[in-house]
Structure 1
Amino acid sequence: MSDILIVDDERDIRELIGDILEDEGYTTRLAGNSNEAMAEINAEPPALLILDIWLKDSKMDGIDILKTVKRDNPDVPVVIISGHGNIEIAVAAIKQGAYDFIEKPFNIDQLLVVIRRAMETSRLRRENQKLKRKDSHPTEVIGESAAFRGLIGQLDKVTKSNGRVMLSGPPGSGKEVAARYIHAHSNRAAGPFITVNCAGVSPEGMEEVLFGREGSDRGVEPGLLEQAHGGVIYFDEVADMPLGTQSKILRVMVDQQFTRVGGADKVRVDLRVISSTARNLEAEIAAGTFRQELYHRLNVVPIAVPSLEERREDIPLLAAHFIEQCHKTQGLPQRALSDEAVALMQTMVWPGNVRQLKNLVERVLILGEGHDEITARELPQDSGVPDGDENRVVLSGTLATLPLREAREAFEREYLLTQINRFGGNISRTASFVGMERSALHRKLKSLGVVTSSKAGARIAHVEDDAEVE
């Protein structure tokens, strides 16, 4: 993109600059007053704006146009030229966001140097924005379960609208991935996706982060709302947004404009708002920590993102996806999952949801050796029970990977070995504790291949063992 807009009320000057730049291989457009300039900018923002400060017979002077351009198209570099230049005008222009300032009559070589640098800055900004929007953040959603298909059905319905979406679900369930999916499949896909980490910014700094700042010492610093212009602003864990900021965000959503911290001019923005929460916002409203009016503004389309335990069928697909990701991004081995490992993963408790699964896969690949299949032995042998599930039995090791009959025998063998060794090989005490007749316990031990001894305790009989259970 090498399109340059030249704005000067002197026809000879703008045509001279245009001819020089055309000879250098640039594409140029010309404007003689503020109306023509704004019409060209609104039709298609240029890659670079060369702007005269003094414009005769115009409603806006160069500084006014500069302010408007930096408000609506902050990535467009602006080079100011003026025949009445002085240090005050130069400082005012730079303060308002101009890339550089050149006095008339200007040196052609100096002008070309400034333009090349400004164009390079413009190119780097565009590439940086593309990289930010690229695959560093996933937009692909993985799954085939009924819960997953229901989620995708809801997401697809909202992609083509500008309606505000509230994503709810437990931590790590993939709410941001769902938000990015909406953005990637919407008519704003070419625009930015800006995340506001509401829990990660201090209440004192939140407004400056969101609205930006103006000041004579630092110039103009756009905030996240301004950076999201034309795209999506995503409020991650919106329940953590400070109360004072909530009222100002509500006003932005109504007016689509705001004022930077320390500034006076209104900044207009065109945004789609997507929010997420792992908390019950209605309970937060009742507690006085979240504004009801903002809740109703944000919660136009509520979508619940299911936990990993609600979509266990998707665990093999997700794990395989994370293995491939780790291989591409970190060079870790691209190992397959054994059937036993898959079965164990599908029985585990996942309080951290998809994020926990991704971390587990990465840990196994880092600590594992070779390129063989990932086995159940490499996975955590204690999957843990969440609070409030004390009555739930959790399967550990490879037990969850066996058919019912084999699993029952394995469990009984391990259980009885543990109890006999616990009572020092004393069958009477063991039988009493487990609630079996002594003779029935002997038969059970024999059928399970367990050999007992008052001195050695209990062990599993090997093939060469043909002694009767004592």
Structure 2
Amino acid sequence: MAIRRILIADDEDSIRWVLERSLSRQGYEVATASDGRQALELFRHHQFDMAILDIRMPGIDGLELLERFLAERPDLLVIIMTAETSMKNAIEAMKKGAYDYLPKPFDLDEVDALILKASKANQVREQVCLLKEELREHYQLDRNIIGNSPPMQKLFKILGRVAPSDATVLITGESGTGKELVARAIHFNSPRLGKPFIAINCAAIPRELLESELFGHEKGAFTGASERKAGKFEQAHGGTLFLDEIGDMPLELQAKLLRVLQEKEITRTGGSRTIAVDVRIIAATNQNLQEKVREKSFREDLFYRLNVVPVALPPLRERREDIPLLVDFFLEKAREELQVDTRSCSKEAIGLLQRHDWPGNVRELENAIMRAALLSPDPVLSPADFPDLQGGAERREESLEDLIGSKLRQSLDPVNIFELDNLYELVLHQMERPLLRIVLEKTRGNQVKAAEILGINRNTLRKKLQVLGLKAGRGS
């Protein structure tokens, strides 16, 4: 928005008169005040785009006015006028948030140039704000991260709490679950929006080059270092650094990373000068870092430094109910990016997609949908459009362990397990009861045969039947 309304505060009548006359002729709406208190009253009852304040005024001086104005209107453009030959007051004003200063005496061309410069800066600032809003909207936590299942609702709650903070986050999950997408969503919903989001894959860069990529290097630091280079930490200053596949970082580099996280400063390879960095760290891995700590292949102190807020992404097979939503999302994406006609998915195709295990998770599903949308001649996708999924056409049966694990996870999700002290016994009893009942039904109550099938002593079986409250049936 262009500058329209300007407040001028100066105890010199001639300065106020000259500025008001000149700016009014150019179409600006101008209000004037002869001291700080009058300026404060005008500010509180009118909306101004800019204030031009003399630094020396009776009552409230220009620096105090500057602080009060910006406390209520951080977006207000303030120019400080000073007759001091020293730069001390001008520097103080800039530190307190003034847009610029105007030394007295000045000519009107200087004023016009300064206001024009401020107007352009204001327009750029508004464009930046609009871009920030667009980015924030694009990376809304529930816009690109799709799902209504209980695991996803739990994830949204965690992300909603952690995004506005500056806490270090460790994202875990299988390949293809969307770890970088979650990292970007955290960044773009944080106060660091508008600052850099820098990603680096620790597994994709040779170990001898990874240190230079992270911390930068000085000219001549090694063969081929023909010029100074800033590393990812410097590039991410003020923003977020995403360390993907952190579990593949070499041990010797883990020690240097830990020191950077503790000291918040880096030293370029081949250099001696320390450089302060302000960076939020989000790390991700598809490995079990606790197991790597036990194996001594990952530093325990670094693990705890990274694992401030753990975020675990569920595999797609544990949230099959989200697949129809994901299908719709990817079909819309195919329409926009591949310029294909609007597609939909038949119930039979959705059923096939929901029965597949998706070892590549959401990434694999996206590829399957985009490929089918591009190649299918029909507006409605059918199972025939997913030939790669039809080998065991109807997906192989889930193992008993998978089924039990899935049901157990659903049962325990709403429970605070930290309040229990007999979970193992409780779960075992619930699993034993149906098992014994089924075996006794199959053996028509023959306990001897049932004990033989179960691989336990007959007396043990009798005791279990009593404890679990099951009817004993016939003895032989």
Q: Shorter-chain TM-score: what band?
A: 0.5 to 0.7
* AA matched with 1:196: I
Taking structure 1 as reference, are residues 271 and 195 closer, same or farther at Cα in structure 2, changes over 3 Å only?
A: same
3-state secondary structure, aligned to 1:250 = helix
Structure 2 residue ranges without an equivalent (≥5): 2-77, 100-120, 401-476
* AA matched with 1:168: T
* CA distance in structure 2 between the aligned counterparts of 1:236 and 1:345, rounded to whole angstroms: 29
* AA matched with 1:254: Q
Taking structure 1 as reference, are residues 211 and 45 closer, same or farther at Cα in structure 2, changes over 3 Å only?
A: farther
CA displacement 1:375-433 (0-9 Å, x = unmatched) = 11111364568xxx88759xxxxxxxxxxxxxxxxxxxxxxxxxxxxxxxxxxxxxxxx
CA displacement 1:174-222 (0-9 Å, x = unmatched) = 1111212222222222222111111111111111111122327855422
Taking structure 1 as reference, are residues 260 and 322 closer, same or farther at Cα in structure 2, changes over 3 Å only?
A: same
Counterpart residue number, 1:325:
333
Contact 2:135–2:188 (8 Å) recurs in 1: no
Alignment counterpart, residue 240 of structure 2, candidates 215, 222, 232: 232
Taking structure 1 as reference, are residues 390 and 375 closer, same or farther at Cα in structure 2, changes over 3 Å only?
A: closer
* CA distance in structure 1 between the aligned counterparts of 2:88 and 2:171, rounded to whole angstroms: 43
* CA distance in structure 2 between the aligned counterparts of 1:275 and 1:152, rounded to whole angstroms: 18
Alignment of 1:166 onto 2:170: yes
3-state secondary structure, aligned to 1:201 = coil
Taking structure 1 as reference, are residues 166 and 322 closer, same or farther at Cα in structure 2, changes over 3 Å only?
A: same
Alignment counterpart, residue 307 of structure 2, candidates 276, 299, 304: 299
3-state secondary structure, aligned to 1:214 = coil
* CA distance in structure 1 between the aligned counterparts of 2:98 and 2:368, rounded to whole angstroms: 47
* CA distance in structure 1 between the aligned counterparts of 2:87 and 2:208, rounded to whole angstroms: 40
Taking structure 1 as reference, are residues 138 and 150 closer, same or farther at Cα in structure 2, changes over 3 Å only?
A: closer
Alignment counterpart, residue 380 of structure 2, candidates 366, 373, 380: 373
Counterpart residue number, 1:352:
360
Calculate percent identity across the aligned residue pairs. 37
Counterpart residue number, 1:197:
201
Taking structure 1 as reference, are residues 150 and 351 closer, same or farther at Cα in structure 2, changes over 3 Å only?
A: same
Q: How far apart are residue 137 of structure 1 and its match?
A: 8.1
Counterpart residue number, 1:431:
none
Counterpart residue number, 2:272:
264
Counterpart residue number, 2:189:
185
Alignment of 1:343 onto 2:347: no
* AA matched with 1:191: K
Alignment counterpart, residue 254 of structure 1, candidates 251, 262, 269: 262
* CA distance in structure 2 between the aligned counterparts of 1:179 and 1:364, rounded to whole angstroms: 29
Q: How high is the TM-score relative to the length of structure 2?
A: 0.54
Counterpart residue number, 2:281:
273
Counterpart residue number, 1:92:
none
* CA distance in structure 1 between the aligned counterparts of 2:321 and 2:398, rounded to whole angstroms: 24
* CA distance in structure 2 between the aligned counterparts of 1:41 and 1:255, rounded to whole angstroms: 30
Q: How far apart are residue 167 of structure 1 and its match?
A: 1.0
Contact 2:176–2:361 (8 Å) recurs in 1: yes
3-state secondary structure, aligned to 1:303 = strand
Contact 1:308–1:354 (8 Å) recurs in 2: yes
3-state secondary structure, aligned to 1:221 = coil
Q: How far apart are residue 332 of structure 1 and its match?
A: 2.8
Counterpart residue number, 1:213:
217
* CA distance in structure 2 between the aligned counterparts of 1:359 and 1:345, rounded to whole angstroms: 12
Q: How high is the TM-score relative to the length of structure 1?
A: 0.55
CA displacement 1:49-105 (0-9 Å, x = unmatched) = xxxxxxxxxxxxxxxxxxxxxxxxxxxxxxxxxxxxxxxxxxxxxxxxxxxxxxxxx
Q: How far apart are residue 29 of structure 1 and its match?
A: 9.6
Contact 2:139–2:185 (8 Å) recurs in 1: no
- My pick for the range that moved more, 211-220 or 243-252, is 211-220
- My pick for the range that moved more, 257-266 or 141-150, is 257-266
* CA distance in structure 2 between the aligned counterparts of 1:231 and 1:171, rounded to whole angstroms: 25
Alignment of 1:362 onto 2:338: no
3-state secondary structure, aligned to 2:381 = coil
CA displacement 1:425-459 (0-9 Å, x = unmatched) = xxxxxxxxxxxxxxxxxxxxxxxxxxxxxxxxxxx
Contact 2:172–2:286 (8 Å) recurs in 1: yes
Alignment of 1:142 onto 2:146: yes
Contact 1:173–1:354 (8 Å) recurs in 2: yes
CA displacement 1:302-344 (0-9 Å, x = unmatched) = 1211000111111111111111112222323331111111111
Taking structure 1 as reference, are residues 168 and 254 closer, same or farther at Cα in structure 2, changes over 3 Å only?
A: same
Contact 2:159–2:186 (8 Å) recurs in 1: yes
* CA distance in structure 2 between the aligned counterparts of 1:316 and 1:258, rounded to whole angstroms: 47
* CA distance in structure 1 between the aligned counterparts of 2:374 and 2:181, rounded to whole angstroms: 25
CA displacement 1:149-194 (0-9 Å, x = unmatched) = 1111111121122111111111111111121222222222222211
- My pick for the range that moved more, 133-142 or 221-230, is 133-142
* CA distance in structure 2 between the aligned counterparts of 1:42 and 1:267, rounded to whole angstroms: 23
3-state secondary structure, aligned to 1:258 = strand
- My pick for the range that moved more, 213-222 or 141-150, is 213-222
* CA distance in structure 1 between the aligned counterparts of 2:298 and 2:98, rounded to whole angstroms: 39
- My pick for the range that moved more, 28-37 or 187-196, is 28-37
* AA matched with 1:183: H
Alignment counterpart, residue 180 of structure 2, candidates 176, 190, 195: 176
Alignment of 1:313 onto 2:317: no
* CA distance in structure 2 between the aligned counterparts of 1:270 and 1:224, rounded to whole angstroms: 12
CA displacement 1:250-308 (0-9 Å, x = unmatched) = 11111111112233322111111111111111111122221111001000111211000
Contact 2:335–2:341 (8 Å) recurs in 1: yes
Contact 1:348–1:383 (8 Å) recurs in 2: no
* AA matched with 2:382: T
Contact 2:240–2:280 (8 Å) recurs in 1: yes
Counterpart residue number, 2:160:
156
Taking structure 1 as reference, are residues 33 and 229 closer, same or farther at Cα in structure 2, changes over 3 Å only?
A: farther
3-state secondary structure, aligned to 1:302 = strand
Contact 2:139–2:188 (8 Å) recurs in 1: no
Q: Which has the higher helix share?
A: 2
